[in-house]
Amino acid sequence: MYTVMLKAKLHMARVTHAVLNYEGSCAIDGDLLDMSGIRENEQIQIYNVENGQRFTTYAIRAEEGSQVISINGAAAHLAGPGDRVIICSYGHYSEAELDAHQPALVYLKEGNDVSHTSNAIPVQLA
């Protein structure tokens, strides 16, 4: 049996572009892809913090150091420049892999600069 677990997260990325007439996908700064472990053409989930939209697409590489987060194709109707989004990828892990699994969490600040990284989400307090 496999369990679907969070593999990687880019937290509070700022959308820089929305290109409707593109064949699809989400272009992400190559440095952020490498840091998070999200691979080109990997399925990703995008959660728009501004309007609650949630959608699935795939990642493509934008120029390293560009700080680009571009929502392309039909998804450009769901997120636009300036919106804050959370970008997640998930993986299927065997029971043997679960104990050692830690997601790659990349927290971003304004301008899509990295604030910090982590491998654990803090416990939510009451």
82 annotated among ligand-binding-site residues: no
96 annotated among ligand-binding-site residues: no
Average pLDDT over residues 87-113: 97
57 annotated among ligand-binding-site residues: yes
Q: What amino acid positions are annotated as catalytic residues?
A: 25, 58
Question: 20-35 pLDDT, tens per residue?
Answer: 999 879 999 999 999 9
Amino acid at position 80, single letter: G
Q: What is the reported pTM?
A: 0.95
If pLDDT is split at 50, 70 and 90, which confidence band does 122 have?
A: confident
E strand map for 2-109 = 2-14, 17-19, 26-29, 43-48, 54-62, 69-72, 84-94, 104-109
